[in-house]
Structure 1
């Protein structure tokens, strides 16, 4: 199976803003990458790359004042099979664990093992190994209600346990903390997870959060949010918790101006349920921007005007027919008419 993945993320910056972003597919899946996941920036800025202490690929850049757009669009090979289950996988005694797994037994920023340890042993002390982890996932899946309106960037595992609401990262934080409390190494993961083999989620796609545990001499994927073995999960990064794998760390005033993520199975004819493509065709000196949006799935194309911040930053979509009927004389009209006349095939 081939899977198309990518993102289109924009920031508005009031001044030059240094950034560290973590958006490349994890090196453990490098052999599966068919079309490389090279990040593109608009406007162009120099990029520097390094691996963090967990081996995750990180990119350094300095965003200029104004809007910067980060994008990639790539193809990844996948087995197309659900993630394997190993119900007889054993739990190791602490003294037999490898050195690099020990870190993932400890508490961390969002995972308070000291607070949750009594509850963990009370609820899950009677089982071990794979059965223990599955029992933890079953509990978290039923105990916590999912909803994007529940999202809060500083919610911890202890707070999720008590508030009983959250998003995928909160499910993962609570489940992996309960695993650590019962002496199973567990690490937080983030990456792509589309609706392959399951009913489509009506919500806008986002990066997903799950966790891995160390059992029987290897790491295994678990997902307390969905509580199912899924198809097409693609790892970007792992760490102690979400603080280690933030998709971006910014060091200056900025505003998230746009965010899209896609994960689509490529069909036998090479097509996907692709997200609309966006091309900037004119940007004025005052910060206004005009884009051509081409939605191949719905066979339509239209013009999007993004007003500058001082004008409210609103967006207005106009059909190509309506735009062409206008008699504007500004440079944006000339640029748009030229591009539309040569590239757009739907109105």
Structure 2
């Protein structure tokens, strides 16, 4: 199948403002791009790019004073298959985990393992280890939180989401990640495109989506506590410890996001 993806973001800056943008499709999906997701700026500004410590492709610009429009319009091929489900995947003991997964056992900006550890063991200590435990965590988070954009807050942490019982997709992911780490399962945050392909209407407003990956049986598997069902057509942008590592824009000066549009549509033919 083919999926049209893209975005249009409009910022208003009262002065020239440096920005780091994490908007490019992840390198693991580059070979799937039929039309590349080149970042376009209006007005045109110089742009440079680099890979961050997690392998994400980031762009650097200095936004001029006034309005700046950032956009991309791409086409990606996809298998059309839902997320993999592997009930047999086992949990690996901490002492046997690869070195590069250990970072994803630790607390981070939005995932306070120290505050949630006792709660996690009370909730999931008797659940099946391995895939079943991660699924039990997703089931709990999916039922514990009530979704709503009115509950969005860019400073909200996993602990706060747990206490408030509300959130958006990033809050579902943060709470599930924190619980996984508390149960000695490496977990990392993912952001990207996820449309409503294969889902019945009504459809909500399109946005970038947050989910997570857990390390089981020697590989990373996709989990989604917000939707809590295998989905079709995920297109990864970035991975990190939590949302702080994969912000679509990190700005170094005053600015206002004036408009925001994300596109993810299946294309026939």
TM range (shorter): over 0.9
Find the counterpart in structure 2 of residue 233 from structure 1.
234
* SS of the residue 2:259 aligns to: strand
Tell me the distance in 1 between the aligned counterparts of 2:111 and 2:77: 33
* 198-207 or 1-10, which deviates more: 198-207
Q: After TM superposition, give the deviation of residue 149 of structure 1 in Å.
A: 0.4
Which protein is bigger by CA-based radius of gyration? Answer: 1
Find the counterpart in structure 2 of residue 78 from structure 1.
78
Contact kept, 8 Å, 2:7 with 2:262, in 1: the verdict is: yes
Q: C-alpha deviations, 1:72-91, integer Å up to 9, x for none?
A: 00000100011110001000
* SS of the residue 2:54 aligns to: coil
Tell me the distance in 2 between the aligned counterparts of 1:202 and 1:94: 41
Tell me the distance in 1 between the aligned counterparts of 2:22 and 2:122: 37
TM-score when normalising by structure 1: 0.76
Find the counterpart in structure 1 of residue 160 from structure 2.
159
Find the counterpart in structure 1 of residue 254 from structure 2.
253
Q: Indicate how the Cα distance of structure 1 residues 220 and 109 shifts in structure 2: closer, same or farther if over 3 A, else same.
A: same
Contact kept, 8 Å, 2:146 with 2:166, in 1: the verdict is: yes
> Which one scores higher on RCO, CA 8 angstroms, separation ≥ 6?
2
Tell me the distance in 2 between the aligned counterparts of 1:22 and 1:71: 12
Tell me the distance in 1 between the aligned counterparts of 2:148 and 2:20: 28
Q: C-alpha deviations, 1:47-85, integer Å up to 9, x for none?
A: 000000000000000011110000000000100011110
Find the counterpart in structure 2 of residue 40 from structure 1.
40
* SS of the residue 2:103 aligns to: helix
Q: Which runs of 4+ in 1 moved over 3 A?
A: none
Tell me the distance in 2 between the aligned counterparts of 1:173 and 1:75: 29
Find the counterpart in structure 2 of residue 88 from structure 1.
88
- What pairs up with 1:1-347 in 2 under 5 angstroms? 1-126=1-126, 127-268=128-269
Q: C-alpha deviations, 1:299-343, integer Å up to 9, x for none?
A: xxxxxxxxxxxxxxxxxxxxxxxxxxxxxxxxxxxxxxxxxxxxx
* SS of the residue 1:225 aligns to: coil
Tell me the distance in 2 between the aligned counterparts of 1:97 and 1:84: 22
Q: C-alpha deviations, 1:192-230, integer Å up to 9, x for none?
A: 000000024543210000000000100000000000000
Tell me the distance in 2 between the aligned counterparts of 1:109 and 1:253: 22
Q: After TM superposition, give the deviation of residue 258 of structure 1 in Å.
A: 1.2
CA RMSD of aligned residues (A): 0.7
Tell me the distance in 2 between the aligned counterparts of 1:155 and 1:72: 29
TM-score when normalising by structure 2: 0.98
Tell me the distance in 2 between the aligned counterparts of 1:188 and 1:200: 27
Contact kept, 8 Å, 1:21 with 1:247, in 2: the verdict is: yes
Contact kept, 8 Å, 1:195 with 1:201, in 2: the verdict is: no
Tell me the distance in 1 between the aligned counterparts of 2:38 and 2:201: 28
In structure 1, stretches of 5+ residues that fail to align are 269-347
Tell me the distance in 2 between the aligned counterparts of 1:85 and 1:14: 48
In structure 2, stretches of 5+ residues that fail to align are none
* SS of the residue 1:86 aligns to: coil
Tell me the distance in 2 between the aligned counterparts of 1:240 and 1:173: 9
